[in-house]
Amino acid sequence: MEGLLTDQYSIKPVLLISCMHRSRRILLHFEAVDSAFCAWLNGVLIGYSQDSRLPAEFEITDYCYPSGMDKKNVLAVQVFRWSDGSYLEDQDHWWLSGIHRDVLLLSKPQVFIADYFFKSTLAEDFSFADIQVEVKIDNSRDTSKDSVLANYVIEAALFDTARWYSSDRCADLQLSKMDSIKLNLSSSTSQGFHGYLLVGRLDMPWLWSAEKPYLYTLAVTLKDASGNLLDCESCLVGIRQVSKAPKQLLVNGHPIIIRGVNRHEHHPRLGKTNIESCMVKDLVLMKQYNINAVRNSHYPQHPRWYELCDLFGMYMIDEANIETHGFDLSGHVKHPTLEPSWATAMMDRVIGMVERDKNHACIISWSLGNEAGYGPNHSALAGWVRGKDPSRLVHYEGGGSRTSSTDIVCPMYMRVPDMSRISRDSNETRPLILCEYSHAMGNSNGNLHEYWEIIDSTFGLQGGFIWEWVDQALLKDNADGSKHWAYGGDFGDVPNDLNFCLNGLIWPDRTPHPALHEVKYVYQPIKVSFSKETLRITNTHFFKATQGLEFSWDAHGDGCKLGSGILSLPFIGPQKSYDIDWQSAPWYPLWTSSSAEEYFLTITAKLLHSTRWVEAGHVISSTQVQLPSKREIVPHVIQTKDATFVSETLGDKIRVSRHSFWEIILSVQTGTVESWKVEGVPLMTKGIFPCFWRAPTDNDKGGGASSYFSLWKRARIDNLHYITKSCSIQNKTDHFVKIAVAFLGVPKNEEVSLPRWKKTKIEVDVIYTIYGSGDIVVECNVRPSSNLPSLPRVGVEFHLDKSMDQIKWYGRGPFECYPDRKAAAHVAVYEQKVDDMHVPYIVPGECSGRADVRWVTFQNKDGFGIYASVYGSSTPMQINASYYTTAELDRATHNEDLIKGDDIEVHLDHKHMGLGGDDSWSPCVHHEYLVHAYPYSFSIRLCPITPATSGEVMYKTQLQN
């Protein structure tokens, strides 16, 4: 009965197995139905329920036909797509109605265990835990409360799950039994829970944390007076302490760091319906990418999710199903948080969440909901939660995230300077944990490292939850049998959020986005830094030393491997560091004997043993540091033997060639290369053009009229074409020729009546120096108009023959990276094919870039191609190469719509604007990653490459010793 999607309402008959017995009580349990429903059994209305993310349970004992009768039990369910509860369920996600979780039929004795609440209180030195188990007995059909104790026995026991089996793997319950928890008749139970209290004490308990998710098994039993077992309930429980200190959230006495993500329930085929394999996959990926916390956005999730988070070790904020966006546009209606008539509905949702999930160790905080304003009703919710469960914190962002209804300062998308300001506020004694930050919409998550630089170094800042985990697209079948990722509106659904729900770190099929590598890096628990000839390795775990890790090192000079090895270290305790002296390190002799220009050292930490979520050998941390250079870095020059060549002007063409080795033809009219061949093999088909435009990302479009995209459009940067003001041979010798070109960047279709100087947006002077060796040095001088906004990029574009599909580069990689999202991308030599460079974001835009590239080669399968590198004193480049043109990436609305071009479009950028990602609805690229409309000068070296040479060799020819 899972996943039944409906329109306005539907009635679903379901046949029940007729195995009921009059001596048993029968309960019908719906784990979740969206948004409301009525249920009938055998024509009798048994109830109504709403709240699409919490269970509803009905006793149907009196309406069932018992076994042995010829009559069949028929259940009919009418599901309402909308209800008044929908006004409290206006979250940003797919609105998919129906029965989306399990429906259970339960058989219980006449008197049974209705509920229980496991609590533990740790001694100050954690040497023992006092255990309490509140038990509620349902005896409504049998006896009074007093007679329960006379006729029944309530017991509880705690088992050590790790010792569940003996050495021969046979179950031995007695061996694993840790404590018997006895009934305490003198104590009453807490708020909202009237029943029986069982107490016990456990000496030297193993504590639960996300780092060490140690679990015990709790068993609660109900027996009759003769000792016969009548009912039993059991679950896994963790013993841990959540507490507060000034500006700190503590778990087991330590101020943990939240390295979190927000998670909607989403399956690419089943929508809001959960399957366990998908939940496990999420947790495996989260753990592998160093994520230790999840916020259930924005509703209670499937019960199995909590059990898995207990098992895997994941701190959790559990959130009530309350969100009220619709009221933002209804100023004439009193907001629910201010209206007493809504208080009961809001309270019911919070109580239902806490009562369902209270026994899960992973939950460290209860959330009162999301984006529902703030009012007296929230005060009531917070008051009930604090009274019911003082062992956890209360979280709520609404009303500015600093109201009395939250124990955590938990803002959304707060900027780094504001975080710093709050951390310094002596009047604010609560910790700051960002409930949402780094909006992962499309090609995003720039600036992430800046958040973690301040979090890692500032008291009172304890991390946050990235928005969000998974792209909420659904797999849609096309008429031709193919499939594509569909988003809002693709099913004709109105209203919809268009692509605004495509803001995950992974695709719907759980394939990681490139940004997830950056998340893994800033979240990694082993930190490495280098300063003053000392390498420091820090273990940021709070509960684990480094016994289970193997450390290794890897040293490179100019991209070439110098050496590697295992790094022998003493165990580093939690929150401790170990320093390695530079001159005593194993890589020091390699550094002293190398003549490279630049050196990089990588320190890696791997797991020695397999875990529940990964095999042994998994890399949990990898940091690259740049070692000092042994000599002054001087501008690069070409050191090549002089070679004679032919240079001639044929009409409006300039032809430069050397025998049958290479030939370059430039157009005097356009000032660009029309053809470049090496040994008859076509390399460049058109270029080299100035380029300042990129296919807009989602973040570029955020902010309406003030967005970067809007500013670029108004300035016509997206519509520039280049008029060749002049093109001439400046200097010519037997060994080189200089050709000077002046470009004017003018918007297409600009009024011809305007004088040229008024139309020009950007002037670019290019000098080609072509050497007899086949090298071309391209010197570019860019002069933008002073009234232009910041630019998407400053660089050159050219097109290569489509066979030049094998790319090798020395720079950051191997995955996509940009100026403000490159901390995880190590500098090394990488190889890929053009097709593999493309990143298939569901909505296309700028993608596939690689940052800080020193040199790059583009070759065909036979080894012929083009080499490009920085030259002179130019800084490393941002590159990308794609079969999809910038215009095509801008045109297509789905990745599947993209049409490959007939050649490869290559960009070599001197400057490229950052991606941003603080949010996706305002211009938020940090200042240092903007490309201001200033003059720029840079140089690039291009030359042919053959099977006989390599990029490494070519690069060394321009390094001055």
Catalytic residues: 371, 436
State mean pLDDT over 924-952: 95
Q: How many CB atoms lie within 10 A of CB 751?
A: 8
Sort 170 into a burial class: Cβ within 10 Å, 0-12 / 13-18 / 19+. Answer: exposed
pLDDT tens, position by position, 276-289: 999 999 999 999 99
**What amino acid occupies position 848?**
S
Cβ proximity of 445 and 438 under 8 Å: yes
DSSP string over 528-579:
EEEETTEEEEEE--SS--STTEEEEEEEEETTEEEEEEE-------TTEEEE
Structure tokens at 703: 């902010």
Please tell me the distance from the alpha carbon of residue 261 to that of residue 297, in angstroms, as a whole number.
9
SS3 251: strand
Sort 303 into a burial class: Cβ within 10 Å, 0-12 / 13-18 / 19+. Answer: middle
Tell me which residue has tokens 């506020």.
Answer: 425
More confident residue, 544 or 658: 544
Buried-exposed string 633-649: b where 16+ CB fall within 10 A, e elsewhere: eeebebebeebebebee
Domain 646-958 class, CATH top level: mainly beta
* Phi/psi at 117 (5° precision): -135, 115
Q: What is residue 637's predicted lDDT score, i.e. its pLDDT?
A: 82
Q: What is residue 19's predicted lDDT score, i.e. its pLDDT?
A: 46
Domain 525-626 class, CATH top level: mainly beta
Q: Confirm whether 112-169+176-240 and 243-521 share one CATH topology.
A: no
pLDDT tens, position by position, 295-339: 999 999 999 999 999 999 999 999 999 999 888 777 788 899 999
Structure tokens at 218: 């709790």
* Residue boundaries of the structural domains of the chain: 15-108, 112-169+176-240, 243-521, 525-626, 646-958
Please tell me the distance from the alpha carbon of residue 21 to that of residue 41, in angstroms, as a whole number.
16
Extract the runs of DSSP E, i.e. beta strands, from 707-813.
Answer: 720-732, 736-747, 762-771, 776-784, 793-801, 806-813
Cβ proximity of 910 and 762 under 8 Å: no
Q: What is residue 512's predicted lDDT score, i.e. its pLDDT?
A: 98
Residue (of 747, 695, 660, 654) closest to 888 by Cα position = 695
The pLDDT-based confidence of 66 (bands split at 50, 70, 90) is confident
- Specify the CATH architecture of the domain 112-169+176-240: Sandwich (2.60)
Q: What is residue 143's predicted lDDT score, i.e. its pLDDT?
A: 58
What fold does the segment set 243-521 form as a domain? Answer: TIM Barrel (3.20.20)
Which CATH code fits 15-108? 2.60.120.260
Residue 941 parent element (H or E)? strand 936-945
pLDDT tens, position by position, 811-823: 999 999 999 999 9
The pLDDT-based confidence of 220 (bands split at 50, 70, 90) is very high
pLDDT more than 90, % of the chain: 80
Tell me which residue has tokens 């489509």.
Answer: 802
- 517 has pLDDT over 50: yes
The pLDDT-based confidence of 32 (bands split at 50, 70, 90) is very high
